[in-house]
Structure 1
Amino acid sequence: MTGMALDTADDRPPLHVGDHVHDREQDCDAPLVVVAMLAARADEHECGDGATVADYNEDYPADDRVVEAVFAQRTTVDIERVQRYAYPRSRLRLETPVHDDEEGED
């Protein structure tokens, strides 16, 4: 991916809210939409049952930043009501960015 800024932590392009991503662990064709980039690390972010994102994703770095994403459909009207899923950053593969990360552009 030439010309695209890379995430220094894992040499992957940075993700932004609105980007379409795929879960590396699923064979599903439906992309996820990034809805939040959390400051918490995977070993800090609890999933609601006392376990952390890192607990559910032992094959990924515990210090990965947490990304929240949804399985939105074209007919989704209110994305805030769609179930959010928390992933460690390295589990997600950028499919379609919504921002142009060319050097020198915002």
Structure 2
Amino acid sequence: MDLKEVNLRSQELRRLYHKLEIENHGLTWSVEEDALAFLTDAALVGRLTMDKEGRWPSNNTELLPMKIGECVWWLAVLAERMDMSFEECVEVFLKQQLDLLKN
């Protein structure tokens, strides 16, 4: 799956979650709430990684691949919500870092 497809599918999924938020709370989450949700999932990636490496006893390492995927999903959502291209964000970062490290 390429980044464009990841982005399209991420936006579709986020729209479905927005419907649930409206049903449950009367409005959708703000971009700040989305960012906080991302940070929560990113922290879980850290804990699950520690568990996988035997440094934290959570017994939930089977969740690690899903949480890594969820973090990518959140990043695509956050870029879109802040009027940025997810694909361009990734491309700019990779190009900048590769150029920096090659020189």
- TM-score tier (shorter): under 0.3
- Tell me which protein shows more helix as a share of its residues: 2
Give the greater-gyration-radius structure (CA).
2
TM-score of the pair, normalised by structure 2: 0.27
